[in-house]
Structure 1
Amino acid sequence: MVSRTAALPVAPIGDRTEPGGTGSADRLNRFFETACDRTPSAVALECGADRLSYAELDTRANRMAHHLRRLGIGPGRPVALMLPQSVETYVCLLGVCKADAAFVPIDPAAPPDRVSFILRDVRAAAVLTTSALASGADWAGPRRTCPVIEVDTCARELAPLPSSRPPTEDGGPEDPLAYVMYTSGSSGRPKGVEIARSSICNFLRVVSPVYGVRPQDRVYQGMAISFDFSIEEIWPTWAAGATLVAGPAGPARLGAELADFLQERGVTVLYCVPTLLATVPHDLPRIRSLVVGGEACPCALVERWSRPGRRMLNTYGPTEATVTATWQELLPGRPVTIGRPLPTYSVVLLDERRRPVPHGDVGEICLGGPGLARGYVGRPDLTADRFVEHPLAPGAGSGLLYRTGDLGRMTADGEIEYLGRSDAEVKIRGYRVSLEEIDSVLMEDPGVAQAGTALVNANDGDRVLAAYVVRTGDHDASDDDLTARLHKRLRRSLPAYMMPSTLDFLDRLPVMPSGKTDRRRLPPPAGRRLAAAGRRVVPVRGVLETTVRDAWAEVIGTEPGELSAQADFFTDLGGHSLLAARAVSVLRGRPGTGGATLRDMYEHPTVRALAARLRSSAGPPAGPAAKQPRP
């Protein structure tokens, strides 16, 4: 059933050389440049202690664009960006667009194997990174596949280059690539989603009135640029001539420290996933616009954050549909849905035979419109499977739909109710994860005959990835040895957010009639912590270490006696930022540990180190019998 707001036409605005125009002249950088010409002295970016006006950022990005042009990088050529958060990240992002090239963001924390694969798969013309990342990474060694530009050491080369905007290059593809985003893939490798300029520029034209960012707004930018959530943080802000406020590094990205940062920096517009918003302990009165997405938003969060003068939106859209496809204004007392399509987008719910379902029935959410991606890099088979003919289009070949794999139902009000996944893809803390990719990595080990992964409920309502394997009959390694081997293999191949928390050995995996693993029938995890398996348990010493250990065990969901005093919360115990925030909250409610902070957890990630930190920060006890703290 097509939504009532589907397939609304877009009126052309301006000529072919302006951001509102149509055709091959659409470019992301034009949205920024129009705002720059209107208010050149306005602050475009705050990043740490640095503040750049639109004119200053424009100049620096122009020089980077000229540099890329001199290297022969032009329309549609993919340029990888592998940069820690810094001013250079935004300079390079804008500079690649000004060079008419396509940006390919890569997480600097990604395993080297993954980085190497992406560079080869996309056939990157160059990679922009730092000297530290280039010198210390395996991908930049003998397997280097493209030129590496170290942005922190090329200032001398950039300085004499023109500060003016480079002219538009002609002769390239009619609708070149704007960017390629890599997401988790079922083949055991990530898959690259190709987004054309026309698609992202259409998105910016239609979403800007919906989001309503104003020139005086200060917009938080907290998501890594390797995820397309960052696009709706960055580009609507620059299109409006507002200020982009780059988030803090490390533990200050969530919880009380994030709240302090947002308040101190005067942030007025916040985009985030619901799980992150749930960690913020108190209201932020300066926030006038709150946009959540990436996962289901609980009604309780809407009730908590709604207030007069604040607008709260729920957004939905996979990378393949260019950032956001549907939206709903969240209001207290009404159901949370993913709303209606943005103008120019359409939604159709299809059954297993790809026929529209009757109104009110459950179907696969399929998206249409000019926001659809071209397809997947080097994967025509997967592209053909996910991008299918629109059954309601007037003629063959006249329209495509992207099959999201999400299930939905049309409500009586014409909004779409999200009902979960129909396949082996899940969302965890806002990240998109293919369970089959994890399975494939486990299956690479000769000791594994079968593998299955599931997203399961853990303690305190958290959701974690649990892995299950069936051993081969001809390998005699112990369970602990095989677990340690699999943990090493997973860490080498997958980013941290895709690491399973537990591993269980089964005699066989439950299967469906089709022969595929029935993930819904996998048993609850038995408690074998994948990261800690096979490691010696160092006992705690004293009351303070016992208190810290017990709090961690409660949060992680393991027996206190199985938790080593010297196990790293993140690398050994499989903890992540949200679990760390929960651990701090538990510690603050216990005697002697009330001064714990998230930063303490990151800087002192073992029970022994954190207890020592808390002991030293507490100082000597009051009174004449005070003793010096232990070193």
Structure 2
Amino acid sequence: MAPRTTTTPVVPAPGPGAPDNANPVGITGGLNRFFEAARDRAPAALALVCGTRRLSYADLDARADRAAHYLRSAGIGPGSRAAILLPRSVDLYVWLLGVCKTGAAFVPIDPAAPPDRVAFILSDVDAAVLLTTSALAARTARGAAGGACRVVRTDICAEEVATLPAVRRTADEDPSGTGDPLAYIMYTSGSSGRPKGVEIARSSICNFLRVVSPVYGVRPQDRVYQGMSLSFDFSLEEIWPTWTAGAALVAGPAGPAHLGVELADFLEEREVTVLYCVPTLLETIPRDLPRVRTLVVGGEACPASLVRRWSRPGRRVLNTYGPTEATVTATWQELLPDRPVTIGRPLPTYRAVLLDERGRRVPQGAVGEICLGGPGLARGYVGRPDLTADRFIEHSPADHGRRLYRTGDLGRATGAGEIEYLGRADAEVKIRGYRVSLDEIDNVLLEDPAVAQAATILTTPPGARRTGADEHDDDDEARDHVLAAYVVRADVG
């Protein structure tokens, strides 16, 4: 079985110039408090590089305070759910921080998401407001019109927001009375044909930041690349540890994600020192990036050949593992070229056990389902008590009655007490780090009356990674209206 980690892992010492009060352990409140603590330490420090624009912590904080003021005047606060459908831009980060400052939960939606998926999320989550642009609003108006969701076009209200006071204010009390409101809701692929919303409490994401910051060792002088969509929780790993450390976030270009030579050029030009990415993306970069001192991979299995290629003196290569339901990352391991690739051990406060089909711990060296516990566990799924009860279970008294999340991933404990990842036990796959349920694709295809049968498989043609759906219909427009772009075959219409 995978041992429970109770000791603090060996982590790098703070870098030169790292302030003593950069330790996030004493910070209380929501995610914005981590950013605000960095702002108070060094207001003139660079917080964001986005295209040609450079914003200091003081500037970004003031803009976010104005956005929060605007949202509060619209009735958004603790207990509210604010959907964010914005392209990567300064506004994206301003409104993300602004929502956090109000105490509301943010619900990120990929701007490339098809209209039916957007409409479903807005209805399912009962969003009070949708933050978007005029260009995207036309695509989402139908989804927002069905309920009480107010649409805020951030480009239209920009002049009004700029006149509002930039005053930091403590968020109002959570009306639920739990003392632990939701921080965000992240939607992932679902086997029923529709995505499922994962509810993450404030305590879970804040605990993650407290325990992961010393592990990653981001320094105030670092420049950290932010390339993931906000709708993918890997993006939280890019954004929040960076701002917790008082470092600079370097936003990737808007539109299609860069990769290969184009990405290498971008990272070098922006002098990026910390890079988070999925192994598939890392494989496309054709040359070494000497300035990158920390490389964090996750979202899918990392080949040993990639570790050998990117390892060099003075650079740390970290492998991270964790589903959305366990708040971003649950286990980690520093990868070395002469060691087997594993997903390592749990972060402090997390735990991992390997269970068989009957919920019993498997013997040492045997294969079992990776089950995770600790304060990072999600509350459950929006409106899905049945699925919540199936995936989040109470374990044996030996675990003090605490909950475990059944990941559906298979693993085996090594002799060194680390976990070796062995793939999935169900029909879920990873595509460029995104979780995709093949059953979801099948069910969407079967909604078309012209489709009699549907079967989806993951194929890997030479030089490409894509899904292939073998269906008896060629209605690409209907398919694109429902499925996320990353699950559609690259060679289809």
Contact kept, 8 Å, 2:351 with 2:374, in 1: the verdict is: yes
2-structure distance, mates of 1:252, 1:440:
28
Q: Does 1:131 align with 2:153?
A: no
Question: Does the 8 A contact of 2:466 with 2:487 survive in 1?
Answer: no
TM-aligned CA deviation for residue 142 of structure 1? 4.8
Q: Is the 8 A contact 2:2 2:419 kept in 1?
A: no
Deviation string 1:263-301 (CA, Å, 9 cap, x unpaired) is 111100000001111111100000000000000111111
**Counterpart among 457, 462, 465 of residue 467 in structure 2:** 465
How far did residue 394 of structure 1 move? 5.0
Q: Cα distance 1:394–1:192, how it changes in 2: closer, same or farther (>3 A)?
A: closer
Which of the numbers 65, 69, 72 marks the counterpart of 1:62?
Answer: 65
The CA deviation at 1:8 is 7.3
Q: 1:399 to 1:21 in 2, by over 3 A?
A: farther
Instruction: Give the whole-Å Cα distance in 1 for the aligned partners of 2:24 and 2:71.
Output: 23
In the TM superposition, what is the alpha-carbon distance from 1:145 to its structure 2 partner? 4.7
The residue that corresponds to 1:332 in the other structure is 337
The yes-or-no answer on 1:359 pairing with 2:349 is no
* 1:395-544 equivalent positions in 2, closer than 5 A: 395=400, 398-460=401-463, 462-469=464-471, 482-485=472-475, 487-500=476-489, 531=492
The higher radius of gyration belongs to 1
Structure 2 residues without counterparts, runs of 5 or longer: 10-22
- Length, aligned pairs only: 478
Instruction: Report Cα offsets for 1:286-337 as digits up to 9, x if no partner.
Output: 0000000000111111111100000000000000000000001010121101
Distance 1:175 1:393, change over 3 A: farther
**Counterpart Cα distance in 1 of 2:489 and 2:88:** 27
Paired residue type of 2:216: Y
Q: Provide the C-alpha distance between the structure 2 equivalents of 1:452 and 1:6, rounded to a whole number of angstroms.
A: 45
**Deviation of the 1:251 alpha carbon:** 5.2
Which residue of the partner structure matches residue 180 of structure 2? 175
1:552-567 equivalence runs, <5 A: none
| CA–CA distance in structure 1, aligned partners of residues 314 and 60 of structure 2 | 32
Give the equivalent residue in structure 2 for 1:323. Answer: 328
C-alpha offsets along residues 46-67 of structure 1, whole Å, 9 cap, x if unaligned? Answer: 0001111000000000011111
**Cα distance between partner residues in 2 of 1:117 and 1:316:** 28
Q: Does 1:53 align with 2:56?
A: yes
State the partner residue of 1:521: none
* Residue identity matched to 2:188: T
Name the SS of the counterpart of 2:317 in structure 1: strand
**What is the rounded CA distance, in whole Å, between the counterparts of 2:145 and 2:37 in structure 1?**
43
Residues 72-94 of structure 1: CA deviation (Å, up to 9, x unaligned): 11113110000011000000000
Shift of 1:21: 4.7
Q: In 1, distance between residues paired with 2:174 and 2:390?
A: 32
Q: 2:277: which partner in 1?
A: 272
DSSP-derived class of the 1:278 partner: helix
1:32 paired residue among 35, 49, 72: 35
Task: Give 1:285's aligned amino acid.
Answer: P
Aligned-partner residue type, residue 115 of structure 1: V
Question: Which secondary structure state, in structure 2, belongs to the residue aligned with residue 334 of structure 1?
Answer: coil
Q: Aligned partners of 2:136 and 2:390: how far apart in 1?
A: 37
SS state of the match for residue 113, structure 2? Answer: coil
Within a 5 Å distance, the mapping from 1:101-140 to structure 2 comes to 101-139=104-142
Q: Is the 8 A contact 1:19 1:30 kept in 2?
A: no
Q: Is the 8 A contact 1:134 1:140 kept in 2?
A: no
Structure 2 CA distance for aligned equivalents of residues 35 and 71 of structure 1: 28
CA contact (8 A) 1:6 1:347 kept: no
Q: Which amino acid aligns with 2:89?
A: S
Distance change (3 Å), C-alpha of 1:253 and 1:197:
same
Name the SS for the 1:76 alignment partner.
coil
More deviation in 195-204 or 155-164?
A: 155-164
Helix, strand or coil at the partner of 1:194:
strand
CA contact (8 A) 2:66 2:162 kept: yes
* Distance verdict in 2 for CA 1:391–1:6, change over 3 Å: farther
CA contact (8 A) 1:112 1:138 kept: no
How far apart are the structure 2 equivalents of 1:109 and 1:252? 12
Contact 1:62/1:165, CA 8 A, preserved across alignment: yes
CA contact (8 A) 2:451 2:473 kept: no
Q: Quick check: 1:7–1:346 contact (8 Å CA) kept in 2?
A: no
Question: 2:19 maps to which residue?
Answer: none
AA aligned to 1:3 is P
Q: Is 1:146 paired with 2:135?
A: no
Query: Deviation per CA, 1:437-492, whole angstroms, max 9, x where unpaired?
Result: 001011112233432212133224x44322234xxxxxxxxxxxx5322x332111
The separation in 2 between residues aligned to 1:116 and 1:4, in whole angstroms, is 42
Partner of 1:3: 3
Q: Distance in 1 between matches of 2:109 and 2:307?
A: 33
Residue type at the aligned position of 2:277: C
Name the SS of the counterpart of 1:491 in structure 2. helix
- Deviation digits for residues 381-440 of structure 1 (CA, Å, limit 9, x no counterpart): 000000001225454xx3000000000000000000000000111101111101110010
Counterpart AA for 1:424: A
- Higher deviation after alignment, 438-447 or 250-259: 250-259
The 3 A distance-change label for structure 1 pair 159 and 251 is: closer
1:231 aligns with 2:231: no
Cα separation, 2, equivalents of 1:314 and 1:150 = 39
What is the alpha-carbon distance in structure 2 between the residues aligned to residue 428 and residue 160 of structure 1? Answer: 44
User: Matches of 1:252 and 1:120 in 2, distance apart?
Assistant: 29
SS in 2 for 1:117: helix
Separation in 1, partners of 2:404, 2:82: 28
Give secondary structure in 2 for the equivalent of 1:483.
coil
1:493 partner letter: V
- Is 1:212 aligned to residue 214 of structure 2? no
> Normalising by the residue count of structure 2, what TM-score does the alignment of the two structures yield?
0.93
Q: 1:257 aligns with which of 262, 278, 284?
A: 262
Distance 2:52 2:8 in 1: 44
Distance in 1, Cα, partners of 2:446 & 2:154: 39
* Distance across 1 between alignment mates of 2:94 and 2:68: 9
Contact 2:316–2:334 (8 Å) recurs in 1: yes
Partners of 1:435 and 1:455 lie apart in 2 by 8
Partners of 1:112 and 1:144 lie apart in 2 by 16
* Aligned partners of 2:201 and 2:378 also within 8 Å: yes
Equivalents in 2 of 1:370, 1:142: separation in Å? 37
Shift of 1:19: 5.3
Give the Å deviation of 1:498: 1.2
Provide the C-alpha distance between the structure 2 equivalents of 1:274 and 1:236, rounded to a whole number of angstroms: 20
Deviations 1:142-175 (Å, cap 9, x if unpaired)? 5465101111111232133221112231252311
